[in-house]
Structure 1
Amino acid sequence: MSGQATDIRVFERQELSKSLQAYKDGNTEEKKFLTIDNKVYDITDFIADHPGGEQVISTHIGKDATDVFHAMHPKSAYETLANCYVGDLAPEKNKTQDKEKQNSQAFAQEIRELRDKLTEEGYFDSSTLYYTYKVLSTVSICAVGLAMLYFGGHSTPIVFAAAVIIGLFWQQCGWLAHDFGHHQVSDDHDKNDMLVIFLGCFCQGFSLSWWKNKHNTHHASTNVSGHDPDIDTAPILLWDEFATANFYGSLEDNPGMISRFIAEHVLPYQSRYYFFILGFARFSWAVQSLMYSFNQGTLNKSATLNWMERSMLVSHWILFTTWTIMFIDSFTNMIMFFLVSQAVTGYALAFVFAMNHNGMPVISQEQAEDMEFYEIQVITGRAVTLSALGDWFFGGLNYQIEHHVFPDMPRHNLPKVKPMIKSICKKYNIHYHDTTALKGTLEVLQTLDVVQKLCGKFSKKVF
């Protein structure tokens, strides 16, 4: 890692801008800096070893990463950070700011103060009883589904019902793995990782490292075009004008036959096939997980964790296949069980994911550089007001804005802080979008419709 005591100096802000521009230009020779609490850190040699993945830390090269660092790192990360310290950031010189910028900074400062207050009051301390109940009740869903196959594998209606139950089990495992992956339950990284490996890799079939690499980047650059992998769904779905322009622009010189067909005859109708596509989400992510684990390995380069991830992923499919073959007495019912269980999970996961951010503002990288982290988290998120059953189905992610502002806060405390955050947003005129599941779904479809019309225009222009 970079940074010795003799190297410490005061950095002018132009040096950070130079670091950012060099990264954008693909210049690998320039040093890579970021700032946290007005201190400058040289992360040039640390990027490859970043436990959260190279992609996520790279999104903040040359930028102020204060809020995203505090929001997404445990106390143990501060010692590692200190090893990269190389100097202090020079104060801004007579820079006048408009009222909107001042308002945004005041909003961010009040959110920081709220975080400190909530930390002192124990809002970031998880309930062992709550999470014990969640793990046991979730595993019991699986037990019910497998028991139905064991005793009723000869009955098509029972096999179908078991497929639905197993599908819901996988979805609920995803929410629990998400909580442990964000260290909401414990400050012990190893303990969290072991539970993610059990719930995520073994029970659900999703790779821990694949998820972290993708999800951490999503949190660091939420709905930022070109950075957030969750809105990078081309050529299946396009969510904004940036992605549309990039996709159709890439086809201008030499479009392939398949790409041209998709551009002309598929994407201009994406709102029509949207719900059909969701059913394939779970299987697609499971395949991506296997490919990532066996091709990329683990984020922290641990051979032990790598072996555990791969063995648990393989064990998931062996157990799933074995139970299906042993206790379902008809090949037709086996196929039905596979398709229904995959589709139920796909719909149950993707419906929630789409509700979280799709159809909300997408921000260019240039805009993001001039915005406060907390403001981005609020304006790009969609809160969904639901019943207790809806909260269970959504895994608490209907409190999406609260989760993005405080990603390490235990799920059971998010409802308590919702009115606090809404109040601060109202005070500073920061838009907090709270809606119902039905209206949220219509917003998603309306966004797809707007973009598909744009696709039609681009198609005529390019071809």
Structure 2
Amino acid sequence: MAPNTEKRQVSFPQLEYPIYREAQPKSAQHWLKGKRMQDGAEDLWRIHDSLYDLTDFISSHPGGSQWIAVNKGTDITEAFETHHLKGIAESLLPNYYVRKATKPRNQPFTFKEDGFYKTLKLKVMDQIQSIPKDVRKKSDFITDGLLLALIVLAPLSCWGWTQSFIIGASLTLMTSYVLSSVVTCAHNYFHRGDNWRMYIFNLAGMSFSDWRVSHSMSHHLHTNTAQDIELSMIEPFLQFIPYKDKPIWAQMGAFYYPLVYATSLLSIMGHELILSATNHEGKTLTWKNLIPFLIPTWMYIMGGLPLHWTILLWLATMVPASFFFVFYGLTAGHHNHRNFFEGDVPRDENIDWGIHQLDAICERIDYAGNHFKSITRFGDHALHHLFPTLDHAELKYLYPVLLEHCEKFEFQFKTNTFYETIINASKQLIRKRPNNFRDVKATK
């Protein structure tokens, strides 16, 4: 499909529609390519209405070079504002200033000094100082423990099938659940600076490098808007965006979604390998593409089954792992009929980024503050979106600040139980009529 150069966004009609949103193949690389064409960054890095040349800073960026390198030629305002909580980046930025941008920003979000997000960020920066210094070790302990469990369970599931159907099936299901859990834990790490645990994410056939773009840069920063490619990547199978002509078969996604969930990881892995093998937009095969095959290799070496049975068992393990991973991901709080989506009426054509984030999420209240559930099931999701580079273990300490801030701005922090979230995700797949956020409070 050719790039769409005429279409406008529905919720924010003053903005250009993402030029490669419907183009095939749907990829992080196409999303970046479209932004380079539309962001007015002039082959530099744009932050607000200024252009910077960060070339000399790429290799010394504390979070790793990828965050800077892949975003050359794009507007990184949202990433800059939300990824840095120490004030150091702001002090260094003037050293790389080049000139003012000539084109208005193609984003609806604001970061006013007296607005919701910037004032919340200052409070959080203060609160971080009182968080126990070793709290991140809790995340490391859970992640490493689950990785060890996976190492044990994967070949053990092979042995189980030589004993009985019940033992084999039970161990396979346990392996699947642990795989999905440890991969979700790895999501906590690829949001941060480069570290070895982010590579765990690739065990499920995905690419943490691509997810740093499609998830961290697109979904996290442009949640539920036309720029959120996590919505477009699952279309047309699951259509969460409301529109009046949504066909009945798309609305039926509220019932057939388990099939999509169960096949997603294998589809993503195949997609990843094909794009890498065909050098899609400069993407190449690397040693990282071998990481998903470590599990079946380990199963074959230690499990005692013939190669063909080992491969079949690995594929069978991936199916429920896929269901668990996507199920918890798509019930994290965004896919809810009460939330904002592209097609809805926003509070304003220019909206505070933090307010938008909370309009686009309904927190699973029964997960709040439970660290194991938080790190293995995308919990504490509102705070994670607002401050994505913080470890999940740190988020529970920020609830008093967030709730007090919402009260100050007369903003209702939406919550659901986990089971309500499941139902409300189905309601969103069915929804055709737009929500109207225009006449509500907290518009700074």
Question: Residue 115 of structure 2: which of 71, 91, 106 is its match?
Answer: 106
> Deviation digits for residues 232-273 of structure 1, max 9, x if unmatched?
12110111235x76xx8xxxxxxxxxxxxxx6x732422221
Aligned counterpart, 1:85: 97
Matched, 1:442 2:423: yes
After TM superposition, give the deviation of residue 449 of structure 1 in Å: 1.8
Instruction: Identify the residue that residue 82 of structure 2 maps to in structure 1.
Output: 71
Q: Deviations over 1:29-68 (max 9, x none)?
A: 98367764x772246999x99823888677747xxx2x53
- Give the drift of 1:221: 0.8
Distance 1:237 1:18, change over 3 A: closer
Alignment match, 2:107: none
Q: Distance in 1 between matches of 2:156 and 2:298?
A: 16
Partners of 1:86 and 1:366 in 2: CA distance: 37
- Please list, as runs of the form range in 1=range in 2, the aligned pairs for 1:220-239 lying within 5 A after superposition: 220-225=221-226, 227-232=227-232, 233-239=234-240
Question: Following the alignment from structure 1 to structure 2, what is the Cα–Cα distance between the partners of residues 58 and 32?
Answer: 4
Inter-partner Cα distance in structure 1 for 2:321 and 2:349 = 36
**For 2:392, which of 390, 396, 411 is the aligned residue?**
411
Residue 118 in 1 paired to residue 150 in 2? no
More helix by share: 1
- Structure 2 counterpart of 1:284, from 267, 288, 292: 267
Q: Please list every run of 5 or more consecutive structure 1 residues that lacks an aligned counterpart in the other structure.
A: 1-16, 91-100, 249-262, 455-463
- Bigger Rg over Cα: 1
TM-score normalised to structure 2 length: 0.71
Q: Distance in 1 between matches of 2:131 and 2:73?
A: 32
User: Residue 146 of structure 2 corresponds to which residue in structure 1?
Assistant: 138
Q: Please, what TM-score do these two structures have when normalized by structure 1?
A: 0.68
Distance 1:390 1:28, change over 3 A: closer
Secondary structure of the structure 2 residue equivalent to 1:86? strand
Query: For residues 366 and 338 of structure 1, do their structure 2 counterparts lie closer, same or farther at Cα, with a shift above 3 Å needed?
Result: same
Name the counterpart of 1:157: 166
1:211 equivalent in alignment to 2:208: no
Give me the whole-angstrom Cα distance separating, in 1, the residues matched to 2:183 and 2:231. 19
Secondary structure class of the residue paired with 2:351: coil
Question: What is the match of residue 40 of structure 1?
Answer: 50
SS of corresponding position for 1:31: coil
Query: Which residue matches 1:358?
Result: 335
Look up the match of 1:196. Answer: 198
- The answer as to 2:255 corresponding to 1:272 is yes
Report SS of the residue matched to 1:430. Answer: coil
- Preserved contact between residue 280 and residue 346 of structure 1 (Cα < 8 Å): yes
8 A contact 2:53–2:96 mirrored in 1: yes
Encode CA deviations 1:156-213: one digit per residue, 9 max, x unaligned: 1121112111111221222221111112xxx5x3xx1x3222x122x33322212212
How big is the alpha-carbon RMSD for the aligned residues of Structure 1 and Structure 2? 4.5
1:422: which partner in 2?
A: 403
Instruction: Give the direction of change, closer, same or farther, for the CA distance of 1:297–1:161 in structure 2 (3 Å limit).
Output: farther
Partner secondary structure for residue 41 of structure 1: strand
What is the match of residue 363 of structure 2? Answer: 383
Return 312-321 or 432-441, whichever deviates more: 312-321
Amino acid in structure 1 at the alignment position of 2:222: S
- Structure 2 contact 175–317 (Cα < 8 Å) conserved: yes
Shift of 1:215: 1.0
C-alpha distance in structure 2 between counterparts of 1:389 and 1:238, whole Å:
31
Q: Partners of 1:369 and 1:145 in 2: how far apart?
A: 51
Aligned mates of 2:101, 2:388 — CA distance in 1: 27
Shift of 1:220: 1.6
Distance 2:364 2:36 in 1: 40
Matching residue of 1:172: 181
Q: 1:436 deviation in Å? A: 0.3
Task: State how far apart, in whole Å, the 1-side matches of 2:249 and 2:15 are.
Answer: 41
**Counterpart position of 1:253:** none
Letter of the 1:127 partner, please give it. Answer: V
1:116: Cα distance to partner? 2.2
Matched residue, 1:182: 191
Partner of 1:97 in structure 2? none
CA drift at 1:346: 1.7
Distance in 2 (alpha carbons) for counterparts of 1:182 and 1:441:
26
Q: What amino acid is aligned across from residue 335 of structure 2 in structure 1?
A: N
Instruction: Work out the percentage of aligned pairs sharing the same amino acid.
Output: 14
- Matched residue, 2:24: none
Post-superposition offset of 1:289: 3.1
Change (3 A) 1:319 1:78: farther
Secondary structure, counterpart of 1:214 in structure 2: helix
